[in-house]
Amino acid sequence: MSKAFSLLDEPWLPVRLADGRTEMLGLLEVLSSAHAGMNRVLT
């Protein structure tokens, strides 16, 4: 049996941060960061 994977919580979206670093984030974190006005851009 495979483990459940939540697109909301699990990091799967590549994101470029304002300082040039990249991270993988979950959908909720990306959307809440965008709503908060963070300088994160999806790549």
Report the candidate in 35, 42, 36 with the shortest Cα–Cα distance to residue 16: 42
pLDDT digits (tens, 9 = 90+) for 19-37: 889 999 999 998 888 766 6
Please say whether the beta carbons of 17 and 42 come within 8 A. no
Q: Give the residue with greater pLDDT, 18 vs 5.
A: 5
**Interatomic CA distance for residues 39 and 17, integer angstroms:** 7
| The predicted structure's pLDDT at residue 20 | 87
Q: Give the residue with greater pLDDT, 10 vs 41.
A: 10
Domain regions of the chain by residue span: 13-42
| The predicted structure's pLDDT at residue 7 | 93
Give me the chain's average pLDDT, please: 82
pLDDT digits (tens, 9 = 90+) for 5-15: 999 999 999 98
The dihedral through the CA atoms of 9, 41, 31, 19 has a sign that is: positive
Residue with tokens 């799967």: 12
